[in-house]
Chains A and B, each alone.
Chain A
Amino acid sequence: MDIRAQVSSVFHLDKCIGCHTCSIACKNLWTDRRGNEYMWWNNVETKPGTGYPTKWEDQEKYRGGWERVGSQLRLKQGGKASTIGKIFHNPDLPTMDDYYEPFTFKYADLINAPAGTDQPTARPISMVSGKPMKIEAGPNWDDDLSGSTVYAANDPGVIELSEEQQQQLFAIEKMVMFHLPRICNHCTNAACVASCPSGAIYKRGEDGIVLINQDKCRGWRMCVSACPYKKTYYGWATGKSEKCILCYPRQEAGEAPGCFHSCVGRIRYLGVLLYDADKIEATAMKADGELAAAQREMILDPFDPEVIKAAREGGLADQIIKAAQASPVYKFVKEWGIALPLHPEFRTLPMLFYVPPLLPVLSSENRGTQKISNDFFTSLEQARLPLKYLAGMFSGGNEEEVKAVYRRLIAVRIQRRAETVGDLSEAELLNARELSGLDRDALDAIFRMTSLTRIKERIVVPPMLREQAIEAGMDPEEYKQEMGFGSRKAPKRRW
């Protein structure tokens, strides 16, 4: 057993209202620089939809992530020799149009325009060329199903559905959607790390945050194509690639990452997971449908004395183990089993998990009276999103995984309704509980964690122990006192 700690997170999609506050917080913190205008380390997509960049989930197009070749795991875009072969012309990069051409408006025209009979207008200006442009795309262009005939209809998950299911999905008055906030997954088996010809990308040993060393990055952009989630971005002003850093400077100061802190719906949970690094390869080799379960297997119980012993032997500090025990992510993923990784079939073992959305059933109209379906929240069969679609997103096509999660989420609701309204029979409650496989306390705990907790319970930032991590290289006291002074190094270039 080789036990490592990973700062990981859970996004509760039932709670996401798609307000993009997280995206704005991230943009203002990190990517409001020239050359980074188009980057959204955090973005919120509407599902069904093609997302950002357009159709990023379609790896037949983008060739990101891993694939199994015989008994070997190989980058879908090709191995080392192939990387060198196309190092000057990576053919798999998204075009600017697939992200969107960043724009602003010529606001000065509004006040400088000469007097006339018409209102002055501010024309859109490209932030790349500085010239007037026609805006044809944006980072959330298909927000709330806008342009659904183009975007939602071409969602790679939707295309997989039967004609009938597709029609149901987009039927008038029955249309359905939910929001999917995305950041870097800080994968355990990160494809970006594996693809980098310069060796500039690394996964921090102490907390598993995946970072790009800006001194080493040479801008080959192999990570951009290798990441199946398209979460590394090339900054054309610096000539380097950049990605979500999980706000590690904030975490080192004990703060929640920007997007977590600003989340209006409180959908984001953060905590440490302990996992067995020896199992990474075997886990990533599993069949598509088994990947989500195998990844859960890889995550270890921080209360297990044997795990604690092995963790200590592996050099994990007691504070980290304590943080892992308090981690809400462990509860969501392992204890309650209601959070699943996004697209595990990309085989990068993403460490960001999602609680899938349980949309309300439809009300029906009959002779002028509105009636909500009898079995409120209770029927999987009446779920408005086809299970196949959700399974395609969260469990590599394994519908049983998604069903199990939904049984638990439904059980929580039935138990709460029984308690607060009291109109459900005991038999119904017991049946739901039995189907979920969780006891009364666990269901209550899910309810509590989902709705009543404060930020310190939702976001358990572990002590980052930077002084221990850096003391091999420099004096931590000196670092603490002098950090922020002195010159910033200009990026090294060979040309």
Chain B
Amino acid sequence: MKTRGWRADLYRLTLGLPLRYSLVFGATVLSGLLFVGPAFSQPTGAELTRLAEQGENLYRQKCLACHSIGEGDRATGPDLAGVTERRDQEWLIDFIEDPAKMVAAGDPIAIQLLAKFNNLPMPSLRLDADQMEALLIYLAHPEEAAHHEQQQLVSEAVGNVTRGEQLYAGSLAMTNGGSPCIACHALSGLGSAGAANYGPDLSGLYTDYEAEGVMAVLESLAFPGMEAIYASRPLTETERLDLTAYFAQVAEQQAPPASSLAGPILLGVVIVFAIVALMGLRRFKGARQPLVDQVRKQRGMRA
């Protein structure tokens, strides 16, 4: 009643309508500034360079494993040169935010891309709005950050396959305490031991990503599951090289695929239950009740 009171007063003073109009107008202008404003303000000069550089850093961290700019499509992903021209901005933002969702929603371009690149889904990069803006600016103006010297990602050094295998299987501990790959991933050639299915099967990893890509994935931790485990316990350069070498060897050997333990375990459980059930058949079923039941039956009484 109180609020109604002061509003009623205002209307009585014929100030109500002007106040309402001014409030609506003010809100419209403010929201326009907030939402539409940034779209109109293209950064220029030093701001543009800063954003492009930030974007390049993100690109090297998150995209380089699978993509290139101006070097042609790779097996793992399309070349990103001029991508901002090819696709409209909204689509790009949606796609980078959650590629899986786009595919699931039936976006024709997303589905086509997935089919084209060996069905390798792109992980969600989980960028915030600022990072997204910086990345898009970099992709639109890669030349703005050109003073960043592109360093060779894969060094000339070659990893040790044996050490790689040991690191993968966990018989050799990671320097920074990261867990061995075998804990989550399946890999052919390791029998039932290498049949974990928390992460994807890595048997085809090298074929899909090649040395550069594998190194980059192991460093950049583009996949959220990997990031949670290795962000605070990063793999060292040597470890990455060793693992890459090992993956290369696995890809070459075409060892028999990892066989899951689920079947044998299920069979074992069934056997144990069967034994217990068989033993249960001999279980003492009571002495008194059968006697009573027997007599009741003889006399035709209800049991």
Q: Chain B residues near A97 (CB, 8 Å)?
A: 286, 288-289
Q: Residue-by-residue, is B8-47 near A (CB-CB < 8 Å gives 1, otherwise 0)?
A: 0000000000000000000000000000000000000000
CA separation between A8 and B92, bound complex, in Å? 96
When A54-B291, A149-B295, A150-B292 are in contact, do A95 and B276 touch as well, CB less than 8 Å? no
The residue of chain A having its C-beta at the shortest distance from the C-beta of B276 within the complex is A89
When A97-B289, A150-B291, A151-B291 are in contact, do A92 and B284 touch as well, CB less than 8 Å? yes
Q: Chain B residues near A94 (CB, 8 Å)?
A: 284, 286-287
Contact check: which of A54, A86, A91, A149 meets B287 at CB < 8 Å? Answer: A54
The residue of chain B having its C-beta at the shortest distance from the C-beta of A53 within the complex is B287
- Min distance, Cβ B18 to any Cβ of chain A, angstroms: 75
Contact B292 A91 (CB under 8 A): no
- Judged by DSSP, the binding face of A is loop
Q: Chain A residues near B265 (CB, 8 Å)?
A: none
Q: Chain A residues near B288 (CB, 8 Å)?
A: 50, 53-55, 97-98, 137
- Min distance, Cβ B276 to any Cβ of chain A, angstroms: 7
Q: Chain A residues near B279 (CB, 8 Å)?
A: 86, 89, 91
The residue of chain A having its C-beta at the shortest distance from the C-beta of B296 within the complex is A150
A interface residues, how many (CB within 8 angstroms): 22
Q: Chain B residues near A50 (CB, 8 Å)?
A: 287-288, 291
The residue of chain A having its C-beta at the shortest distance from the C-beta of B295 within the complex is A150
Q: Residue-by-residue, is A34-58 near B (CB-CB < 8 Å gives 1, otherwise 0)?
A: 0000000000000000100111001
Q: Chain A residues near B286 (CB, 8 Å)?
A: 94-95, 97-98
CA separation between A89 and B272, bound complex, in Å? 14
CA separation between A151 and B287, bound complex, in Å? 11
Q: Chain B residues near A312 (CB, 8 Å)?
A: none
Check: B283 CB closer than 8 A to any chain A CB.
Answer: yes
Check: B2 CB closer than 8 A to any chain A CB.
Answer: no
Q: Residue-by-residue, is A52-77 near B (CB-CB < 8 Å gives 1, otherwise 0)?
A: 01110010011000000000000000
Check: A298 CB closer than 8 A to any chain B CB.
Answer: no
Check: A93 CB closer than 8 A to any chain B CB.
Answer: yes
Contact check: which of A62, A137, A150, A154 meets B284 at CB < 8 Å? Answer: A62
CA separation between A154 and B282, bound complex, in Å? 22
Q: Residue-by-residue, is A76-96 near B (CB-CB < 8 Å gives 1, otherwise 0)?
A: 000000000010010111110
Q: Chain B residues near A137 (CB, 8 Å)?
A: 288
Q: Residue-by-residue, is A276-308 near B (CB-CB < 8 Å gives 1, otherwise 0)?
A: 000000000000000000000000000000000
Q: Which of B72-115 contact A (CB under 8 A)?
A: none
Check: B300 CB closer than 8 A to any chain A CB.
Answer: no
Contact B295 A58 (CB under 8 A): no
Q: Chain A residues near B282 (CB, 8 Å)?
A: 91
Contact check: which of B280, B285, B287 meets A58 at CB < 8 Å? Answer: B287
CA separation between A205 and B45, bound complex, in Å? 102
Q: Chain A residues near B283 (CB, 8 Å)?
A: 89, 91
Q: Residue-by-residue, is B241-268 near A (CB-CB < 8 Å gives 1, otherwise 0)?
A: 0000000000000000000000000000
Q: Chain A residues near B287 (CB, 8 Å)?
A: 50, 53-55, 58, 61-62, 94-95, 98
- Min distance, Cβ B293 to any Cβ of chain A, angstroms: 10
Q: Chain A residues near B289 (CB, 8 Å)?
A: 97
CA separation between A50 and B286, bound complex, in Å? 13
Q: Chain A residues near B280 (CB, 8 Å)?
A: 89, 91
Q: Chain B residues near A54 (CB, 8 Å)?
A: 287-288, 291
CA separation between A62 and B295, bound complex, in Å? 22
CA separation between A200 and B76, bound complex, in Å? 69
Q: Chain A residues near B276 (CB, 8 Å)?
A: 89
- Min distance, Cβ B277 to any Cβ of chain A, angstroms: 11
Q: Chain B residues near A98 (CB, 8 Å)?
A: 286-288
- Min distance, Cβ B92 to any Cβ of chain A, angstroms: 59
The residue of chain B having its C-beta at the shortest distance from the C-beta of A58 within the complex is B287
- Min distance, Cβ A5 to any Cβ of chain B, angstroms: 37
* 19 further contact pairs, Cβ within 8 A, besides A50-B287, A94-B284: A53-B288, A54-B287, A54-B291, A55-B291, A61-B287, A62-B284, A89-B276, A91-B279, A91-B280, A91-B283, A91-B284, A93-B284, A94-B287, A95-B286, A98-B286, A98-B288, A137-B288, A150-B295, A154-B291
Q: Which of B's residues lie within 8 Å of A, judged by CB? A: 276, 279-280, 282-289, 291-292, 295
4 interchain residue pairs of minimum CB distance = A54-B288, A91-B283, A55-B287, A54-B287
Q: List 15 A-B contacts (CB under 8 A).
A: A50-B288, A53-B287, A53-B288, A55-B287, A62-B284, A86-B279, A89-B279, A89-B283, A91-B284, A92-B284, A95-B286, A95-B287, A149-B295, A150-B291, A150-B292
